Amino acid sequence: MSKGISYSLEDLAGKIGATFSGEGALHLTGVAPLDSAREGDLTFLTNPRYAKFAERTRASAILCEKAIPKVAKSFLLTSNPYAALAKVIPLFFPPKTPIPGIRKGAWVDTTASVHPQACVADGATVAAGARVGARSVLYPGVYVGEDAVVGEDCLLYPNVALRENCILGDRVILQPGAVVGSDGFGFAPEGEEYRKIPQVGNVVIEDDVELGANTCVDRAVLGTTRIGKGTKLDNLIQVGHNVVIGHHTVVAALSGISGSTQVGNHVVMGGQVGLAGHLRIGDYVTLATRTGVMEDIPEKGVYWGSPSSEMSVEMKNVAAYRQLPELLKRVRNLEKSLEKLQGLQGKEPDGK
């Protein structure tokens, strides 16, 4: 946080499109979590389960949806506190802007094009024919391959690899270790061996996409693997060759999407979701954590389980599964009772 930053509660409300309750002239000098905030800080309540901590926070004001009864604080009020927090944080923690230019320790091919307002750090590489747009930043260890394109206002953090012919739109963020354009997993069986299928397509990542650390997006065999505008992928995700992901889709960590699958717009995937290849996932589908998808899901809805089914159906299946131990016990008791009854029926009237 930069020293000397201060906003009144009223000014802060105006900057993020919120309202306030309490002392409008109250000056706030920072933002911090409920349990560690101090006097002068703005804290936030984005999940109702933490409301109990608001009663004892030392913060001077609380960002939340509604004023909290019995809490003697000023409030910054908005219908979407989480989105408002995303606007507040940069006000108190202004992003650092690297000085434009190509550092002496960088290697840029003479046929590459780097905008004068871009920054190429020590240890970064820009190969032949590649282009880097205005205000984009390449941190140490970044590799931009031959004829690759980096749009404007992109951030490529350390050790990112953007391989040949792959294209990034504007405002794309690649977290450390992300790989765009690695070879797809294509091997044709030939006798008892496997022959590698050349992966000669590319990857296109559209505007405002973010890829998490060590996430990999494979290049197409032929054609293009595409990540649509505004989509966000978490850490450690695998996107196979020729996959197409639509706009504003979010995918949590450790998920995998097999080759040639098409994922729609506004899809939500929890952690460890797995999609088989050549599937079609429709718009506004939600896949809960650890869902395994083996068939197309064309209809909007919430799905869970492996193989996947509608959430309501899978919850009934889980409830039934949890009753199995008791049901097995009852069946064994019934079998014992039946054996005794059959034994009695098999005896002669005199007991012999």
Query: pTM for this one?
Result: 0.91
* Tokens 């919850």, located at residue: 315
Mean pLDDT (the chain, rounded) = 95
Q: For 335-349, how does the pLDDT look when each residue is reduced to its tens digit (9 = 90+)?
A: 999 998 988 877 666
Q: For 237-263, how does the pLDDT look when each residue is reduced to its tens digit (9 = 90+)?
A: 999 999 999 999 999 999 999 999 999
**Residue 33 parent element (H or E):** none
Nearest-angstrom CA–CA distance, 190 and 185: 16
**Cis amide leading into 298 (omega within 30):** no
**Domains of the chain listed by start with CATH number:** 7-92 (3.40.1390.10), 101-312 (2.160.10.10)
> Of all residues in the chain, what percent carry a pLDDT higher than 90?
91
**Residue 42 parent element (H or E):** strand 41-44
* Tokens 């797995």, located at residue: 274
Q: Is 241 a catalytic residue?
A: yes
Catalytic residue among 241, 247, 248, 266: 241
Tokens of 244: 């197409």
The pLDDT confidence band at residue 1, using thresholds 50, 70 and 90, is: very low
Q: For 214-245, how does the pLDDT look when each residue is reduced to its tens digit (9 = 90+)?
A: 999 999 999 999 999 999 999 999 999 999 99
Give DSSP secondary structure letters for 69-136: TT--SEEEE-S-HHHHHHHHHHHHSPPP-PPPEE-TT-EE-TT-EE-TT-EE-TT-EE-TT-EE-TT-
